[in-house]
Chain A
Amino acid sequence: MNTSDEFTYLEQVKVNLKDSLTEPDFNNLDFSTITRTQIDNYYLIRIVQKGLPLSNDFILLKTDMKGLILRGLIVHIERIRFPNDDSSTYHGIISRSSLNRKSIEKSDIINGFITPSNSNAINQRSLVVPSPNTLPDVVVTCYINRGAISYSEWISLQSLLGSNFGLYNTLDGINTSGGGGGSSGWTGTGGDAIYGGGGYIAIDYEAHDLLAIDISKYLKCFADIPDNGAICSIEILTDIPVDKDPQMFFNYSNGSPGHTFLQIKKSNGGKSVSQNIGFYPDQSWKTLLNPSPIGAKVVDNAGHEYNAGLKRNVTPAQLKGLLVNMEYLAKNKQYDIDDYNCTDFALEIFNSLSDNKAIVIPKYIIPIGISPANTPQGLYQKLKSMKDAGTESNNITIPGAKGWVGNSSGSCN
């Protein structure tokens, strides 16, 4: 973005902010201190309030490339240190309000995870058990500088907006390391400036041993939300094996055929549940040694990468049917790489909606497979063709390169 574009962008942001903020809040902003991070085709910017440190108070905006505000929050965050905590543990409180301060949400940060506010939770932090296989919202990293160990606090700005995609910015806007994002330094007229302190680090979620979950406990969370007035949805998501080449249906360097999984959401008022469920073989090394079906497990796919997704809204009654079907299949189906893999599982549940809009995808014979099979690549191709043809295109998400789903709510007792 050249200087002229930077100026236009900032002016657009200011105009939008003036309409969104109260007058005192707008006048209290320090436009000489802005950090900006570019992610795909949008920006996340933080604007500090006069006299307050960026690490504690800021306006967080998600804008398009021209400065139109897509989402905004006023954020206050504070770290709380307990006597026995080590330097890498982050506890604190965070409040997020809309730009006009009409709605305020206060939460605790426990072991780096933002959790609903509970007067006892911050003092009973050991009771909070984050959903496994998820990334924390705030992390503390250490680095060695000339022999001394220093610590940096990093925050996932996207988690404040609802999803943690594994990209973290420093809380104080400095000491950023490489990884992408951020604009070059620019000084506009009147002292306004956009600084390049928006570089982020990417923390990839590393799936070690994929832990099996108790599907009943995961699905029980949905029953805890009242049906009357609830908004429910199911999304089928595909992660193709080679991100840079959608034509490849198999990754020959690591043997991955990709993955397909489901995201189910239900919300009502201030309560919401989101679960990401995937179907896997229990012991995958048996898949190529044994032509017969083998034992299966379901896994929490929170934070999983995806390349395309199709979302459909469902009624609470439909959701109940889907969940019953999912629980039955998860407990009774065996895994077969050709005949019943992750894509088959997800498609069977997704297509069980009785709305005559079943998805049928092209089948391929994967290397070492015996018969044509449903694959993540086939699903990707189907969704891509649907989007190109304008069929349910508003419900289909195809991120530029790849995206990541958010956290799961975890199990409920």
Chain B
Amino acid sequence: MKAFKIIKHPVVLIISFLMIIISGQHLGGFYILYILLGLFRGALHSILAVGGITLLIFNYRKYKREQIKRRYYYINIIAVLMLIVSIFIFFYLDNDRYNSSTFYQLVPQIMLTAFGLLALCFLLDNIISALGNYKKLSLKDNNPKLE
């Protein structure tokens, strides 16, 4: 149960997202580097990534001590979808398939799969919570102890 609380924590999701390993033909590294490289040139994948992360962090901090409302889950859903679309756009707009090795090498595959599973868990958890009883005291009641 505690493990599940850790898995669906937004900070864990953000870390796994930023640590996706991209493998290009000559260059490779963590996805955070590609986000930063594209950010100041207005790359769509960078904007979506930063937007999604910002929403997650903002949402988490806001409802840490406040009564959770349904929009908490909606914002989480939008944020995680932005992260997923960011990584999708990054590969989709790569016309030269420069980074296609990401899908053929073991370590990048593992990191990408890990994010995928975490994102799926996070998404499902928030959808179920949004559809269910959203009247909870605060995040603190369910907040896993990470410190």
A residues near B (Cβ < 8 Å) are: 204, 206-210, 250-257, 259, 280-281, 283-289, 337, 341-342, 367-368
**Closest Cβ neighbor of A250 among chain B residues:** B37
* Distance of A316 from chain B, by nearest CB (Å): 33
State which of A251, A286, A341 has its C-beta within 8 Å of the C-beta of B28. A286
Residues 7-44 of B contacting A (Cβ, < 8 Å): 21-30, 33-34, 37-38, 41, 43
For residue B98, CB closer than 8 A to chain A, the reply is yes
How long is the Cα–Cα vector from A206 to B101 in the complex, in angstroms?
12
Q: Which of B56-64, B70-78, B102-110, B137-145 contacts A (4 or more CB under 8 A)?
A: B102-110
Known: A210-B101, A288-B33. A252 touches B24 (CB 8 A): no
B residues near A253, Cβ cutoff 8 Å: 38, 41, 43, 45, 93-94
Most chain A beta-carbon contacts within 10 A, residue among B95, B101, B108? B101
Contact A368 B43 (CB under 8 A): no
Pairs A-B, 10 closest by C-beta atoms: A288-B29, A285-B28, A285-B23, A209-B104, A284-B28, A254-B94, A254-B98, A256-B98, A252-B41, A285-B21
B residues near A (Cβ < 8 Å) are: 21-30, 33-34, 37-38, 41, 43, 45, 90, 93-102, 104-105, 107-108
How long is the Cα–Cα vector from A337 to B24 in the complex, in angstroms?
12
Q: List 13 A-B contacts (CB under 8 A).
A: A208-B97, A253-B43, A254-B98, A254-B99, A255-B22, A255-B33, A256-B24, A257-B27, A283-B23, A284-B27, A284-B28, A287-B27, A289-B29
**Closest Cβ neighbor of B104 among chain A residues:** A209
Known: A208-B100, A210-B101. A255 touches B27 (CB 8 A): yes
B residues near A209, Cβ cutoff 8 Å: 100-101, 104-105
Contact A207 B29 (CB under 8 A): no
Contact A284 B97 (CB under 8 A): no
State which of B22, B27, B38 has its C-beta within 8 Å of the C-beta of A337. B27
Count A-B pairs with CB separation below 8 Å: 102
How long is the Cα–Cα vector from A283 to B95 in the complex, in angstroms?
21
**Closest Cβ neighbor of B100 among chain A residues:** A208
* Distance of B56 from chain A, by nearest CB (Å): 24
**Closest Cβ neighbor of B94 among chain A residues:** A254
Q: State the majority secondary structure of interface residues on A.
A: loop
A residues near B37, Cβ cutoff 8 Å: 250, 252, 255, 367-368
* Distance of A165 from chain B, by nearest CB (Å): 16
* Distance of B66 from chain A, by nearest CB (Å): 39
Contact A256 B27 (CB under 8 A): yes
* Distance of A280 from chain B, by nearest CB (Å): 6
How long is the Cα–Cα vector from A281 to B25 in the complex, in angstroms?
7
Contact B98 A285 (CB under 8 A): no
* Distance of A396 from chain B, by nearest CB (Å): 24
Known: A288-B28, A288-B29, A368-B29. A252 touches B38 (CB 8 A): yes
Contact A284 B104 (CB under 8 A): no
B residues near A367, Cβ cutoff 8 Å: 37
* Distance of A329 from chain B, by nearest CB (Å): 17
How long is the Cα–Cα vector from A286 to B27 in the complex, in angstroms?
8
A residues near B23, Cβ cutoff 8 Å: 283-285
* Distance of B125 from chain A, by nearest CB (Å): 30
A residues near B95, Cβ cutoff 8 Å: 204
How long is the Cα–Cα vector from A256 to B101 in the complex, in angstroms?
13
Contact A284 B101 (CB under 8 A): yes
A residues near B28, Cβ cutoff 8 Å: 255, 283-289
**Closest Cβ neighbor of A289 among chain B residues:** B29
A residues near B24, Cβ cutoff 8 Å: 254-256, 284
**Closest Cβ neighbor of A369 among chain B residues:** B27
Contact B26 A281 (CB under 8 A): yes
A residues near B90, Cβ cutoff 8 Å: 254
Contact A285 B108 (CB under 8 A): yes
A residues near B104, Cβ cutoff 8 Å: 208-209
Contact B25 A210 (CB under 8 A): yes
Known: A288-B28, A341-B26, A368-B33. A256 touches B105 (CB 8 A): no
Contact B25 A280 (CB under 8 A): yes
